[in-house]
């Protein structure tokens, strides 16, 4: 018997996954948050994740995924690689971590199945996908099928943010009663500045643009 009252959220401690966590908490009786330690330059990211789970009283698991950094070093994990200020003309930005979402979702699926859970929530979005191929809907659907086949199970990977942009993500967190938590406690910034961030990096620019647009009509 599958447990439809419980779900697992892929949780980074950023704006998107925190909004997803709030979303899941309204929908399910019990929610598990799973974060990954892959040698992020900013350990603060995991600290934010811990603090948010504590505040929201969510059971939190951190999995060691340092192998990912060993395989594919990139600007989010190495001090000596600077984050691209703007998106490159072609190819993926150097903040892209090769294979990250596939690896994370696969491990989360195993975590879910051993608990009899089928619903997995992830905050990927095709609207603001920043050139990351593993944030696309087609990839999520494909992986969902693959995981079902791999484990002979009926997973449901749910993506509440897939078709909404950052402005609408702010609106959603507000509707869910978590606007202040998202604004103050999350870390999105590539330079590791919590809350409103450094204001300079691509992640901060995207977050601020959405926030400003939402605040205008709030």
Residue ranges that bind Zn ion, judged by CB under 5 A: 189, 191, 197-198, 201, 204
> In whole angstroms, how close is the CB of 13 to Zn ion at the nearest point?
15
Query: Of 32, 5, 34, 20, nearest to 106 (Cα)?
Result: 34
Please give the biggest Cα pair distance in the chain: 49
- C-beta closer to Zn ion: residue 3 or 191: 191
- Burial string for 187-203 (b: 16+ CB within 10 Å, else e) reads bbbbebbbeebeeebbb
- C-beta closer to Zn ion: residue 179 or 190: 190
- How far is 21 from 123, CA to CA, in rounded Å? 9
Rounded to the nearest 5 percent, the helix, strand and coil shares of the chain are 45, 15, 40
- C-beta closer to Zn ion: residue 9 or 189: 189
- Phi then psi for 121, rounded to 5 degrees? -110, 130
> In whole angstroms, how close is the CB of 199 to Zn ion at the nearest point?
6
From the CB of residue 67, how many other CB atoms can be counted at a distance below 10 Å? 11
- C-beta closer to Zn ion: residue 14 or 160: 14
> In whole angstroms, how close is the CB of 128 to Zn ion at the nearest point?
15
> In whole angstroms, how close is the CB of 169 to Zn ion at the nearest point?
17
β-bridge mates for residue 158, sequence order: 121
> In whole angstroms, how close is the CB of 198 to Zn ion at the nearest point?
3
Torsion of Cα atoms, 108 then 113 then 114 then 119, to 10°: 70
Sign for the pseudo-dihedral over CA of 158, 162, 164, 165: positive
- C-beta closer to Zn ion: residue 172 or 189: 189
- Phi then psi for 159, rounded to 5 degrees? -125, 80
> In whole angstroms, how close is the CB of 55 to Zn ion at the nearest point?
23
- C-beta closer to Zn ion: residue 22 or 189: 189
């Amino acid at each position: 018997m599958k447990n439809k009252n419980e779900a697992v959220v892929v949780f980074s401690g950023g704006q998107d996954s925190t909004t997803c966590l709030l979303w899941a908490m309204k929908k399910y009786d019990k929610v598990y948050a799973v974060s990954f330690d892959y040698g992020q330059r900013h350990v603060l990211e995991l600290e934010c994740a811990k603090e948010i789970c504590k505040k929201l009283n969510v059971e939190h698991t951190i999995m060691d995924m340092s192998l990912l950094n060993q395989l594919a070093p990139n600007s989010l994990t190495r001090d000596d690689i600077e984050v691209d200020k703007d998106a490159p003309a072609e190819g993926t930005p150097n903040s892209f971590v090769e294979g990250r979402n596939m690896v994370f979702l696969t491990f989360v699926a195993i975590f879910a199945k051993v608990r009899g859970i089928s619903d997995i929530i992830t905050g990927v979005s095709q609207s603001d996908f920043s050139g990351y191929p593993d944030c696309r809907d087609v990839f999520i659907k494909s992986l969902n099928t693959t995981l079902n086949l791999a484990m002979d199970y009926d997973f449901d990977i749910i993506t509440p943010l897939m078709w909404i942009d950052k402005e609408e993500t702010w609106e959603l967190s507000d509707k869910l009663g978590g606007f202040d938590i998202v604004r103050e406690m999350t870390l999105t910034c590539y330079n590791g500045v919590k809350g409103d961030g450094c204001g300079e990096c691509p992640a901060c620019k995207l977050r601020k643009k959405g926030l400003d647009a939402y605040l205008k009509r709030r």
